[in-house]
Structure 1
């Protein structure tokens, strides 16, 4: 059977939901010889794109069998320090049935999605993958013309049952949505991938809030550009990804599961020992995603560290939240002040990009620019 028999069409919720979930169970993320992460979309295969301004999901069908799926979203973002804007299309969630790989199905799905991007005047298409995912890199870079673009760092920190101490020298304040938008547009509008619709991100029900930290004793009025702000300050926002989908670590040796359970029981029984509290990631769990990380002044690192501890304490009130995830630019010095466990973090995520059209007939090509220090990672695309 050749690829000419494959039918590509838009996702139909009533018709395709169960088949997509079955397909994604077959396409586990990771090889069988080591643990891998399985994503449970909780009955909504479009959950990872549903909060984007524009989105589309395609499926590949062969004789009434679903053999492939892909998702895409469109938004307007900042693409240079001069606040130039670009319309970008994000490619994610590409899956092809193991029994039907190497037949060009993945290639056909991406090309069809690019046609949708082109019809909506998208300037650049981009995607993210693991640097050792050879099949994905071969498809996008060798066959589709994508190039390596950015290498963000993904930092993961487990949520323990203990409330962490926050220094009394740090003042943490929650800011209103309108004030948060003002701060982000004032201080991060020139950061790469800053979303033009930041107001919609902050107003989303999954965004739990924005907090700022500054030295105790100083006043905060960072919302008024004509008034002084503290000598040092930091801010971040929190997104509850666990309300969209759940994760589970599978293919783990039984000894690891037993060890984790025992360590957790001991940590709860004798908290004064301050043993590391290993999260139970072997059953379905959610996570908080920290986004919009920014700070200024000599004490920024200390303040950001306190903010992250505050988010950890916030997460202890959520039964399903087992880890906190942050993704920042690979060159961003703030990453050194974000608590995380090295062995479950990723020091080099792999982003690829492809120009789709000549923006306003200019010579500017975003894909050829050097990586900046900071990067705005949209929580809607996690």
Structure 2
């Protein structure tokens, strides 16, 4: 395809030569549909920050006429995936696709995806997948209509703003315990190793410095040494250490409301009005992952754990302004009890998948038709 400004060159990212240019591209590329409020990503001087904690990763850049006009990132890992005849698959995850606004609709995005898929094939990847907003028409057309991806799962993204002026209540009927890393790994392997997209290297995730810990909650009067009648668990990842987000394309009325709510909360706390965080300046967030539990009190126990995470975040205003959780689309039990602001959340994120091996192409249909497991493990390294 001719691009008018010379030959399109796609190559691996070189930190020394490309870092500043990639940061410049990120600063002008919004994340999400352009006709709605969108997010800008601040990588804090490290363009590969979102992938460098993964077992295997790569970043490609596109150059045209000496200008850097596009980037894409990919990671590779082993996960549990219900597919015959084995239960484990090597999957490649696509993220961070950006094309400079002036160069869109010229096939650069599809060329970047195709080149990344070639790298996946060279690494013997079984399936590649990506995530996008369900109403992101441009992304859907590119991956599904043009590149052969199919809809796979629709997780729910739950977002809860952090109120730095008020603590969340934790029931005195429950006990919270922080697990040792070895205990958390054993628990995840016991209860979640058969769920979709459970990473085989869960121990590396739990030992990463960005993982703040794993906590369990159970009724007082019972002991953790003997499995309680009801229990819940979750882990927390500090994404704000890697990159920051900033909101754009927001109506002035929303901006004024945010500022006024913060002033009321600061000077008139007796009114007990909810304060909206300042999303117009760069902000970080905590990501809750590995949510699971059992028993009749599971919902209340999950809520107590989420309230604990909120209180932990509220003591660190520079690190965290929102708490994000992503759960399986059919995990209604968790969704009912995880605190979240409906207006800020996404009831259906869209995951799409594609087989990279001829022998597995028929199994993609089976993967998309088999009912999903209730729990869906979302790797915090890919957020």
Contact 2:149 2:354 survives alignment (8 Å): yes
Which residue pairs with 2:207 in the alignment?
203
1:170 corresponding residue in structure 2: 174
Aligned to 2:274: 276
- SS, match of residue 140 in structure 1: helix
**1:203-237 deviation per Cα after TM superposition (whole angstroms, max 9, x unaligned):** 0000000000000111112xxxxxx3000000000
Tell me the SS of whatever aligns to 1:163: coil
**TM-superposition CA deviations, 1:359-382 (whole Å, max 9, x none):** 699968534433332200000000
**Residue 255 of structure 1: CA displacement?**
3.2
Higher mean displacement: 32-41 or 120-129 = 32-41
Cα-to-partner distance string for 1:320-347 (whole Å, 9 max, x where unaligned): 2100000000001211110000000000
C-alpha distance in structure 2 between counterparts of 1:178 and 1:36, whole Å: 39
The alignment status of 1:17 with 2:19, answered yes or no, reads yes
Deviation of 1:29 after TM superposition, in Å, equals 2.3
1:239 to 208, 212, 237: 237
Work out whether 1:36 is the aligned partner of 2:38: yes
* Number of residue pairs aligned between Structure 1 and Structure 2: 376
Q: Deviations over 1:184-218 (max 9, x none)?
A: 00111011000000000000000000000000111
- For 1:192 and 1:199, locate their aligned partners in 2 and report how far apart those are by CA, in whole Å: 17
2: CA distance, partners of 1:314 / 1:199 = 23
Matches within 5 A, 1:82-161: 84-161=87-164
The alpha-carbon deviation at position 272 of structure 1 amounts to 3.4
Match of 2:71 among 69, 72, 75: 69
Name the counterpart of 2:340.
340
Return the offset for 1:100. Answer: 1.5
Q: What CA distance in whole angstroms lies between the structure 2 residues aligned with 1:363 and 1:20?
A: 37
Contact 1:355 1:367 in 2 (8 A): no
| Separation in 1, partners of 2:117, 2:368 | 17
- Tell whether the 8 Å contact from 1:267 to 1:276 is kept in structure 2 after alignment: yes
CA distance in 1, matches of 2:265, 2:29: 36
Q: RMSD of the TM alignment (CA)?
A: 1.9
TM-score by length of 1: 0.94
Partners of 1:94 and 1:78 in 2: CA distance: 25
Q: Distance in 2 between matches of 1:31 and 1:142?
A: 18
**Structure 1: how far apart are the matches of 2:328 and 2:322?**
20
CA distance in 1, matches of 2:329, 2:33: 26
Q: Does residue 373 of structure 2 align to residue 372 of structure 1?
A: yes
Query: 2-side partners of 1:248 and 1:67: how far apart?
Result: 22
Moved more, 269-278 or 359-368: 359-368
Change (3 A) 1:155 1:60: same
Tell me if structure 2 keeps the 8 A contact 1:213–1:235: yes
Who is 1:351 aligned against? 351
Checking the alignment, whether the CA contact within 8 Å between 1:36 and 1:250 is kept in structure 2 is yes
Contact 1:123 1:358 in 2 (8 A): no
Unaligned runs of 5+ in 2: none
Matched, 1:294 2:292: yes
